Amino acid sequence: MTPSQRNQKIADALENWFDQHGTDFPWRHSRDPYQVWVAAVMLQQTQITTVTPYFKRFIQCFPTVKSLASAAIDTVLKQWEGLGYYARARNLHRAAKIVINEFGGVMPETFSELKSLPGVGIYTAATIASVAFRQPVPVLDSVTIRLNLRLDQSRLDPKSTRTHRSLFERIKSRIKKSHDPGIFNLGSMELASRICRADSPQCSQCPLPEYCKAYASGFPDRIPAKRSQPKIPHYHIAAGLIWRDGRLLITRRPENKMLGGLWEFPGGKQENGETLEECLAREIKEELGVDIDVGESFTSVKHAYSHFSITLHTFHCQLHNGKSRSIGVDDFAWVAPAELNDYAFPRADIKIIEELMNTQSPK
């Protein structure tokens, strides 16, 4: 079998498998480029089961790129609340404005134009170009990289830019053989996620074993080679439930920081040699220019991000001296507990709010 014939067989088998076994997700009901784009962004580093309800709500709230572009960023972040990686939401909002102002409200079609939009990298641009516009552009992500390294029994480093360039050209020769590049890419991603799994590939359910060199070797799970995972650091964060006349002080994180644009209970990371109470008093002074009296502990919650984890410790507090100013924060507000749900918070703070709603707040 020639390389060209093998590529044709792989493309045909992938498309046939997806037609029969592809999962019916809500974003697959339409090839509207805007919906394809929103789904592709949400699916970056987030599990499909998590994305499904968010996608439905987001599209219901912002059914068109125009409606997204005209929305306030606070409204967008509130719809995104709990999905994580909030830069994705901010970039979607910025890019929607660019589509309206620079592309006449019509999503660009070419791979290069799509990549020019904020937050649209090679993966997202390829997804939109292939699914919405049927262009033969391969989608490269961690799972399709694994699938194609196994097909060719390649021991290239899956994290290497050089590997990505090589695979992009190799898969391009396969996708050009497909009848529908979008189906080819969707089939590759789903097959890799469901069947060609990292630790336990289900080769008996795969439509490609006769074309897979790793399967022929008898040890498909050895490709790609396993990497040791670095230890994830853990931090202790102190945050204040600062009360005044039955209202709580919340602050908005700077746009250029992690979780930028979200609201939170003010505080920060504990440094070596200081107690949580000392940490909280210092952070509030640095962020807001006020002195506080740190009172009793309220609760602690644990939360994991992609590259570190935290324990968030909260304390009831009262203002002691000074007038709040936005020094290390973008903004602040005094809000009644019942109003907290009107603001977009990180998931760890949401856990605090949920517990707060079940207790009697100080007056």
Q: Are 182 and 257 in contact (CB under 8 A)?
A: no
Residue 335: phi and psi, rounded to 5, are: -135, 150
DSSP secondary structure letter of residue 198: S
> Is it the case that residue 229 has pLDDT exceeding 80?
no
Nearest of 174, 178, 181, 169 to residue 136 by alpha carbon? 181
What is the per-residue pLDDT for 363? 44
Mean pLDDT of 298-319: 95
Q: What percent of the chain has pLDDT over 90?
A: 88
- pLDDT tens digit string along 288-298? 999 999 999 99
Q: 278: buried, middle or exposed (CB in 10 Å: 19+, 13-18, 0-12)?
A: middle
DSSP secondary structure letter of residue 209: G
Provide the strand spans (E) within 210-259: 234-244, 247-252
Q: How far apart are CA 101 and CA 13, in angstroms?
A: 42
The answer for residues whose C-beta is within 8 angstroms of residue 245's C-beta and 6 or more apart is none
Domains of the chain, first to last:
3-222 (1.10.340.30), 234-357 (3.90.79.10)
What is the per-residue pLDDT for 316? 97
Average pLDDT over all residues of the chain: 94
Mean pLDDT of 19-41: 95
What is the per-residue pLDDT for 321? 86
